[in-house]
Structure 1
Amino acid sequence: MSNKNEWNSNLSFLLAMIGSAIGLGNIWRYPYVLYSNGGGTFYIPYFIAILLLGIPFLILEYGVGYNYKSSFAKAITQINSKWQYLGWFIPVTVFIFTVYYSVVLAWDGLYVVLSFSKAWGSNPNAYFATTLLQSSQNFTGLLNFIPLIGIVIAIVWIIIWFISHRGLEKGIGNVSKVLVPLLFIVMMALVGFSLTLPGAAIGLNELFNPNWQLLTKFDIWMAAFAQIIFSISLGMSISFTYASYIKEDTDLITNTLIITFANAIFENIAALGVFSVLGYMSLHSGTAVHDLVTQGIGIVFIVYPTVFNILGQWGFILGPLFFLTVYLAGFTSILSSIEPLSFSIQNKFNISRSKTITFLIIVGALLAMPFATSFGQTLLEYVDTFINLIALLLAIFFECIIFAWMFKAEKLIDFLNSRSKTFKLGKWWLIIVKYILPMFILIIWIGGIIDVVPNWTFSQLILSVLCGIFLLVTTLIFTILPAKDENWNEKQERI
C-alpha cells in the first residue's frame, strides 16, 4: 500500500511535531527534574544534551523517515528483514504508552470540570486517591470498576477517533494548527498570572539557585539526557512516521532546530509557572518549597488543587485554565502516539486509515478499562515504569544502531545539507549518532534498571512480566502475519 498521506504544508508538519513533543511531562516532570538537579546548574548538561542527543537523533529519524516514506515497521523490514520484529516492537510499545496516557488525560479532563466548583473539597489528596479513584494496591481492586472513570476514558478515545480517522491533514494537521498555538497562549496567560502571586520569587529563587558542585556528578548528566529522550519522544517512531509524510523540499535540519527549541522554551516556561505557584504556597502555608516539590500526578491533582483552594476566588479562574493547559498538552501528544502502529498496520495489511484507526481506538479503549478500577492508579505506575525504563529505552538503543549503522547514516548527509538553510552536517554528526548516542542510551537504560528494579514489589514484578509477555506476543503476531501489500518487501529508497 503506497503512502497517500502527506502534510499539505511545512507548517502542518512543524506544529504537529511540536504538539507531539509538548506533553504532560513538560508540565509535571521537567520542573522537578530541573529543581532536583541543581536548578540553574542543570542548564549546562541540559543544553549539551539537546546538542549532542536531541538534535542529532531527530535529524537521523527525520532523514530515514523521509528516505523510506513508509511506516516504521516496513522501513525496518527493508533495512534488514531479520529486524522486522523491532519494527513492530516500538510501535506496539508506544501504543501501550498511549493506552495508559489516555487514562491520565481522562483524569485531567474530569478535573477541568471539577475545577469550576473546586469539587475536590478541602483535602485534594483524599479526594483524588480515595473518593475519585478509590485507590487500592491490592489485585482485588481490579474487580471494583469505577463507572465515572470508565466514561471519561471512553470520551478521550472517542475524541482521538474523531480527529485521527478523518485523515492526516484534515484531522491531525488542522487540529494542531489550532491546539498548539492555543496551548502556548494559555500557558503564557497561566504563567503570567502565577508570576504576580505573592511569594512567587521564593519559588523562583529555589528553582534557579545553582549548585555548581553537581556538575561533577554523573547523575545530573544522565538526568539531562533522559529528560531530552522522553521530552522529545526520541526513538518512539513518532518522528520517523511524521517525517514520512513530508514534502520533497522540506528543510529537515532547520525544522529540527525549531521543534527542539520550541519544546525547550515551553517546558522552561512551565517551570516558571509551577515554581511561582509553589512559592506562593510556601509563603501562605509556612512550608519550605523543598517540602512541597513533587512530580507526576501529585503536582497536578493534589498540589495545584490545594493552591487553588488557597487562592480563593482567583482559584476559580486559574484552576480551569491550568487543567485546560494540561489537557491540551496531553492531546497534542496522544494524537501522534497512535500514528506509528496505525501506519504500520495500513502498510502491511493494506487496510484503510479509517478502518485501522477505528480498530485501534476500540482496542485501546478496552485495554484502558482496567485502569478504571480501584487498582488503576497502581497499575498505571507499574506499567509506566516497565514501558519507559525497560522496553522503550532498549528499543531506542537498537533503533539508533539500525539507523546509524545498518542503514548507513552517512547516506543522509548530502541530501540533508542540500536543503538546509541553517547549518551543515559533517563527520561530527556521524560520530555522535554512531558512537555517542548508543553509548549514552545504553548507560541510561542500565542505570534505570539498577536503580528501579531491585526495589520492585512482588506484585510489580508479576505485572511487569505480564506486560512484557503481552508486548512480546503482540509484536510477534504482527511480525509473522503475512503481508497483504505486494510492495511490503520491495525496497524503495529516495536518498
Structure 2
Amino acid sequence: MSDKNEWGSNLSFVLAMVGSAVGLGNIWRYPYVLYSNGGGAFYIPYIVAILLMGVPFLILEYGVGYNFKSSFPKAIRKIHSKAEFLGWLLPVSVFIIMIYYSCILGWDGIYVILSFFKGWGADPNTFFAATLLQSSESATGLTSFIPVIAIAMLISWLIVWFISHKDLEEGLGKVSKILVPLLFVIMIAIVAFSLTLPGAMIGLNELFSPNWSLLLDFNIWMAAFGQIIFSLSLGMSIAFTYASYTGEEGDLITNTLSIAFANCAFENFCALGV
C-alpha cells in the first residue's frame, strides 16, 4: 500500500473515525433513549454495553481491517472463499443507508439557510411536513418530486464525491480535522444556549433522574446495546475500512478506547442541550 493510500497521521484516523461515529445516533437518538429508559439508571446497562460490546467489537473490526488491508469482501474471501457474498452485503447496506442519509443531509442544508431568518415560521412542524416535504395522505405523494430537496441531495452527493475521490489524507483526513472539532464547538454553543432557557434545570432533572426499577426490564438492556451498536456503527465495515489504511505505527487499542470514549462523551454532552 502506497503512502498516499494511508492516513497521514494517527490523528487523522482517530478524527475520521470519531466523525463516522458521532451524528444522528448521538444528537437525535440518544437523549430520547436515555429519557425513555430510566434516565440516570440507564447508565448502568449503557456502560456494560460499552465494555462488553462497544470496545471489543471495535477492536475486532479494527484488527481485521488492519491485518488484511483490503476491501471487506476480499477479506471475507481470504477467510473463506465461499463466504465472499457475505462481504458484499455490508457495502450494499451502507450504500442504501447513504441514500436516505443524503436526504437528511439535504434537509440539514436547507435548514441551515432557513435558520438565518427562521424561515420555518411560527409552526415548524407544519412547515416541515406540509411546506418542505409536501406530504399528503394520498399514495401519490410517495412519488412527488420536490425540486428544493432534490437539489439539496445532489449538492450533498457532490460534496461526498469531492471529498472521497481525493487521496485519503488530502480528502477525508483534512476534512475530518476541520469538521469534527467544528461540530464539537457548535454543540458547546448549543448546550450553553440551551442551559440558559427557562426550565432548563427542570428538563435536566427529568432527563437524568434514575428510575431504578427499570433495571429489571430486559428492554432497557436491549436499548443500551442497541444504542452502542447504532452510535458506533458496529458491524457496518466502516471501522474495518478505515483501519485498513492505517500504517504500522497505529495503536489500535488506544485508538479504540479514544474513539469509544469520544463518542459516548459527545452523546451525553449533547443530551444536555437536546
TM-score (norm 1): 0.54
> Once the 2 structures are TM-superposed, how far is the Cα of residue 3 of structure 1 from its aligned partner?
9.3
Q: Deviations over 1:128-176 (max 9, x none)?
A: 1011111135432244211111111111011111111112110000000
Q: Deviations over 1:65-97 (max 9, x none)?
A: 111000111100110011111110111001100
Q: Residue 139 of structure 2 corresponds to which residue in structure 1?
A: 139
Map 1:279-294; keep pairs closer than 5 Å. none
Aligned-partner Cα distance in 1 for 2:136–2:80: 46
Q: Residue 66 of structure 2 corresponds to which residue in structure 1?
A: 66
Q: Residue 196 of structure 2 corresponds to which residue in structure 1?
A: 196
Map 1:271-420; keep pairs closer than 5 Å. 271-274=271-274
> Once the 2 structures are TM-superposed, how far is the Cα of residue 2 of structure 1 from its aligned partner?
8.2
Aligned-partner Cα distance in 1 for 2:8–2:267: 28
Q: Residue 221 of structure 1 corresponds to which residue in structure 2?
A: 221
Aligned-partner Cα distance in 1 for 2:172–2:2: 20
Q: Deviations over 1:472-491 (max 9, x none)?
A: xxxxxxxxxxxxxxxxxxxx
Q: Residue 181 of structure 1 corresponds to which residue in structure 2?
A: 181
For residues 44 and 216 of structure 1, do their structure 2 counterparts lie closer, same or farther at Cα, with a shift above 3 Å needed? same
Check whether the contact 2:25–2:227 (CA below 8 A) recurs between aligned residues. Answer: no
Check whether the contact 1:106–1:152 (CA below 8 A) recurs between aligned residues. Answer: yes
Check whether the contact 2:39–2:207 (CA below 8 A) recurs between aligned residues. Answer: yes
> Once the 2 structures are TM-superposed, how far is the Cα of residue 177 of structure 1 from its aligned partner?
0.4
Check whether the contact 2:102–2:153 (CA below 8 A) recurs between aligned residues. Answer: yes
Larger radius of gyration: 1
Structure 1 segments (4+ residues) deviating >4 Å: 1-4
Q: Residue 266 of structure 2 corresponds to which residue in structure 1?
A: 266
Aligned-partner Cα distance in 2 for 1:270–1:180: 14
What residue identity is the alignment partner of 2:200?
Answer: A
SS of alignment partner, residue 70 of structure 1: coil
Q: Residue 123 of structure 2 corresponds to which residue in structure 1?
A: 123
Q: Residue 36 of structure 1 corresponds to which residue in structure 2?
A: 36
Aligned-partner Cα distance in 2 for 1:149–1:255: 37
Q: Residue 243 of structure 1 corresponds to which residue in structure 2?
A: 243
Q: Deviations over 1:48-79 (max 9, x none)?
A: 10000000000000011111000111100110
Q: Are positions 1:23 and 2:52 aligned together? A: no
> Once the 2 structures are TM-superposed, how far is the Cα of residue 199 of structure 1 from its aligned partner?
1.0
Check whether the contact 2:4–2:169 (CA below 8 A) recurs between aligned residues. Answer: no
Check whether the contact 1:106–1:153 (CA below 8 A) recurs between aligned residues. Answer: yes
Q: Residue 441 of structure 1 corresponds to which residue in structure 2?
A: none
Aligned-partner Cα distance in 1 for 2:265–2:201: 20
Aligned-partner Cα distance in 1 for 2:61–2:96: 21
Q: Deviations over 1:210-240 (max 9, x none)?
A: 0000111100000000000010000000000
Q: Residue 8 of structure 1 corresponds to which residue in structure 2?
A: 8
RMSD: 1.4
Aligned-partner Cα distance in 2 for 1:58–1:143: 39
Structure 2: unaligned runs, 5 residues or longer = none
Q: Residue 112 of structure 1 corresponds to which residue in structure 2?
A: 112
Q: Greater relative contact order: 1 or 2 (C-alpha under 8 angstroms, separation 6 or more)?
A: 2
Aligned-partner Cα distance in 1 for 2:139–2:71: 38
What residue identity is the alignment partner of 2:263?
Answer: N
Task: Report % sequence identity.
Answer: 71
Q: Are positions 1:171 and 2:171 aligned together? A: yes
Q: Residue 97 of structure 1 corresponds to which residue in structure 2?
A: 97
Query: How many corresponding residue pairs?
Result: 274
